[in-house]
Amino acid sequence: MKKIIPVALAILLLLCTAVGCSASAKSAAYENSYQMSETADMYYAEAEAPMEVPTEAKAAYGANNAPAPAPNSSQALSNRKIIRNADMSIETLAFDAFLEKLIASVESFGGYTESSSIGNRGYRNGQQLRNAHYTIRIPADRLDDFLSAVSELGNVTSINTGLRDVTTNYVDSEKHLESLRIEQQALMEILAKAETVEDIITVQDRLTYVRYEIESYEAILRTYDDQIALSTVSLSVNEVEKETQVEKETFGQEVSRRFKESLESVGEFFRDLGAWLFGSAPEIIVVLVFLGVHVLIVILIVKGIKRRVRKNREKAQKAREAQNNTPKE
């Protein structure tokens, strides 16, 4: 029992140290990696604050001691852990050629296609139109160049880029991981000196938990590193007959465009109607014959009923006339 007490005290001391160092870090590390850190706003506010001008530089700014210019965005973000992503929608008249150029562009920028899908959008004027969706991973430092290159391949209808600052979560995860590794080393030393079975079991249980936590935080940091190094681009590609006008139109241009679209819609309606009529001619003929036979039967039945009713009336009329002509006694 006397040997267990020092071991238990040592483990308790390690637990208190680890918990005290990382109580807030653990909850932040398991936070959704896509949440924007509030620390980024504080950082940007500090970056935009006036900077103190060195004495030797005051002359260049004049006697009013004007503040030095704030650093540009690339300098401000250089020491941050930033995840950059983008969403883009693009139209193309040559679907197959566009996809070939897209794949070549991805490879030339050192990226890869994480997932892709191709489907049908339907028919337009007899032409089958397709669409595709690509999830592409591109080195973060070449994201802007890649988006510019893809924009030249077709007609961009929308593009959105975003930054997610995960510096706080990243640093907290690193600190907690460091604390766990220190605890693991101490537990290994205690385990080497343990003499009783109870001591060994107690230390090994804690050591197993610490190792599991280390692996978890290492996985979190690897995920962050992957997302920071490679930006994710969600690209939607639509095959079209005519590219969408993305620039602002004048009143006359809008009226002309709408008029042409109306004519095209009317023409497409009659074209589809004619195609349906000719394509469904056998079915239509069968239906018409079927309906015609039934209509003919109904007409014959109605005529028969009318003929029977007329004969009955004639018989009744003749009976009344014969009764009236009979002499009374």
Same domain, 2 and 81: yes
Q: Is 83 helix (H, G, I), strand (E, B) or coil?
A: strand
Residue 255 lies inside a defined structural domain of this protein: no
Residue 265 lies inside a defined structural domain of this protein: no
∠ CA 124-126-132, rounded to 5°: 50
Phi (first) and psi of residue 157, to 5 degrees:
-100, -25
The pLDDT value recorded for residue 327 is 61
Residue 254 lies inside a defined structural domain of this protein: no
The pLDDT value recorded for residue 39 is 38
Residue 259 lies inside a defined structural domain of this protein: no
Residue 262 lies inside a defined structural domain of this protein: no
Same domain, 301 and 200: no
Q: Alpha carbon 213 to chain centroid distance?
A: 32
The pLDDT value recorded for residue 248 is 61
Same domain, 165 and 231: yes
Q: Side chain identity at 60, as an amino acid letter? A: A
Same domain, 194 and 285: no
Among 230, 246, 262, the domain boundary falls at 246
Contacts with 79 (C-beta within 8 Å, 6 or more apart), sequence order:
none
Q: How far apart are CA 10 and CA 16, in angstroms?
A: 10
The pLDDT value recorded for residue 11 is 53
Same domain, 285 and 242: no
Determine whether 211 is exposed, middle or buried from the number of CB atoms within 10 Å of its CB (0-12, 13-18, 19+).
middle
- Cite the DSSP H helix spans in the chain: 4-29, 39-48, 58-61, 73-76, 95-108, 143-151, 167-193, 197-229, 251-279, 281-325
Residue 62 lies inside a defined structural domain of this protein: yes
The pLDDT value recorded for residue 41 is 40
Q: How far apart are CA 89 and CA 156, in angstroms?
A: 6
Q: How far apart are CA 275 and CA 308, in angstroms?
A: 48
Residue 191 lies inside a defined structural domain of this protein: yes
Range of the domain at 308: 280-314
8 A C-beta contact, residue 236 and residue 102 = no
Same domain, 162 and 76: yes
Residue 294 lies inside a defined structural domain of this protein: yes
Same domain, 197 and 124: yes
Same domain, 18 and 119: yes
Nearest to 144 by CA among 128, 159, 154, 124: 159
How many other C-beta atoms are found inside a 10 Å radius of the C-beta of residue 7? 20
Tally of domains in the chain: 2
Nearest to 110 by CA among 83, 150, 146: 146
Same domain, 306 and 228: no
Same domain, 156 and 25: yes
Same domain, 297 and 170: no
pLDDT per residue, tens digit, the chain (329 aa), is 444 444 444 554 445 444 444 444 444 444 433 343 343 344 333 333 333 434 433 343 343 334 444 444 555 666 789 999 999 999 999 999 999 999 999 999 999 999 999 998 777 666 788 999 999 999 999 999 999 999 999 999 999 999 999 999 999 999 999 999 999 999 999 999 988 999 899 999 999 999 999 999 999 999 999 999 999 999 999 998 887 765 665 666 566 656 666 766 666 666 677 777 777 888 888 888 888 888 889 888 988 888 888 888 877 777 777 777 766 55
Same domain, 107 and 175: yes
